[in-house]
Amino acid sequence: MPSQLFLIAADGSRTEVDPKHKFEGLTIDWRGEGSVVEIHEGAKFRGSKLILGHRSTVRIDDSRERGVFDGVVVWLGGAGAVDVNLTIGHSFSMFGGGQIFLRDESKLSVVIGDDVMISTNVVIQASDGHIIRDASGEMVNAAHDPSIVIGDHVWIGRNVLINKNVRLPLGTIVGSGSVVTKKFETENAAIAGNPAKVVREGLFWERKHNI
Ligand SMILES: CC(C)(COP(=O)(O)OP(=O)(O)OC[C@H]1O[C@@H](n2cnc3c(N)ncnc32)[C@H](O)[C@@H]1OP(=O)(O)O)[C@@H](O)C(=O)NCCC(=O)NCCS
């Protein structure tokens, strides 16, 4: 089954375009079949790349005055993985060499809400990439479904790793250099460290600029 590319208009309507359609600032590397990519006409990119294996779906909403800039790589499928899904809400910003990986394991999904701000050098990885088994041969490191949920208005600081099976609720701030390994429940909290833990609660952050 061939892959399909759709442009989403401001009124939400979808128009199918040739998968070779050129987006300014975004290279799409189609490496498999049966993928569906939906990109809002207001999504902005600069120097970024989307790599797709088999049966992957990606939906990227309107970036408004923000975007995905300067060397961000988003990689779905690969190494036999199929049925992986990434959704990114509106007003998203990510820049400076970050990576989002949904590779190596099937049925992975990552959901990123609205108004999420991601600093430089952040890696979001929905699976461990390799298999760990217990003595009975059971796989013990499978990703949950969804593997990663990043809520609305979350700020992820510099050099952060987001591992599998993570949830960041509304308003979370992730301190620089943190390694996030689990689901958090408290909204509007700062989490930090390796492994990340709640360090402050009742915080409300705002953007000073759009990069
Ligand atoms: C997370 C952050 C925003 C919190 O700032 P804050 O509210 O002023 O918090 P504080 O500095 O009072 O720190 C609270 C506690 O968390 C700890 N902490 C803060 N940031 C930490 C981090 N990145 N890693 C580990 N621990 C951290 C502090 O040591 C302190 O611990 P204590 O209570 O035991 O003394 C800030 O520390 C941070 O990481 N800033 C960098 C943001 C960034 O990457 N910006 C790039 C541009 S987008």
Q: Is the alpha carbon torsion for 112, 7, 43, 20 positive or negative? A: positive
Ligand 1 pocket test, pick from 120, 176, 188 with the greatest ligand atom count within 8 Å of Cβ, gives 176
Residue 4 pLDDT level (bands cut at 50, 70, 90): very high
Report the C-alpha gap between 77 and 31 in whole angstroms.
Answer: 9
Residue 150, pLDDT > 90, answer: yes
Q: Tokens 């990552």 label which residue?
A: 110
164 CA to middle of ligand 1, Å? Answer: 23
Closest-lying ligand 1 atom to the alpha carbon of residue 205: 3
Which two tokens mark 137?
A: 């041969």
Residue 35 pLDDT level (bands cut at 50, 70, 90): very high
Instruction: Give the pLDDT confidence score for residue 68 in this predicted structure.
Output: 96
Residue nearest to atom 33 of ligand 1 (CA): 199
Residue 211 lies in a domain: no
Residue 139 lies in a domain: no
Closest-lying ligand 1 atom to the alpha carbon of residue 159: 44
Strand extents, DSSP E, 89-171: 93-95, 99-102, 109-112, 117-118, 123-125, 148-150, 155-156, 161-162, 166-168
Task: Work out how many domains the chain is built from and give that number.
Answer: 1
List, for residues 62-83, the tens digit of each pLDDT value.
999 999 999 999 999 988 899 9
Domain hosting residue 44, numbered range: 7-127+145-200
List, for residues 8-32, the tens digit of each pLDDT value.
999 999 999 999 999 999 999 999 9
Q: What is the mean pLDDT of residues 173-184?
A: 98
Residue nearest to atom 20 of ligand 1 (CA): 175
- Percentage of the chain with pLDDT > 90? 97
Residue 41 lies in a domain: yes
Q: What φ, ψ does residue 42 adopt, rounded to 5°?
A: -95, 5
Q: What is the mean pLDDT of residues 30-41?
A: 97
CATH number of the domain encompassing residue 71: 2.160.10.10
Residue 32 lies in a domain: yes
Instruction: Give the pLDDT confidence score for residue 51 in this predicted structure.
Output: 97
Ligand 1 pocket test, pick from 160, 199, 200, 201 with the greatest ligand atom count within 8 Å of Cβ, gives 199
Q: Which residues line ligand 1 (CB under 6 A)?
A: 119, 157-158, 173, 175-178, 190, 192-193, 199-200
Instruction: Give the N- to C-terminal CA distance of the chain in Å, as an integer.
Output: 39
Instruction: Give the pLDDT confidence score for residue 130 in this predicted structure.
Output: 95
Report the C-alpha gap between 47 and 57 in whole angstroms.
Answer: 21
Residue 151 lies in a domain: yes
Q: How many CA atoms lie within 13 A of 4 on its CB side?
A: 12
Instruction: Give the pLDDT confidence score for residue 79 in this predicted structure.
Output: 85
Residue 2 lies in a domain: no
Residue 186, pLDDT > 80, answer: yes
Residue 138 lies in a domain: no
Number of H helices, E strands in the chain: 0, 23
Residue 132 lies in a domain: no
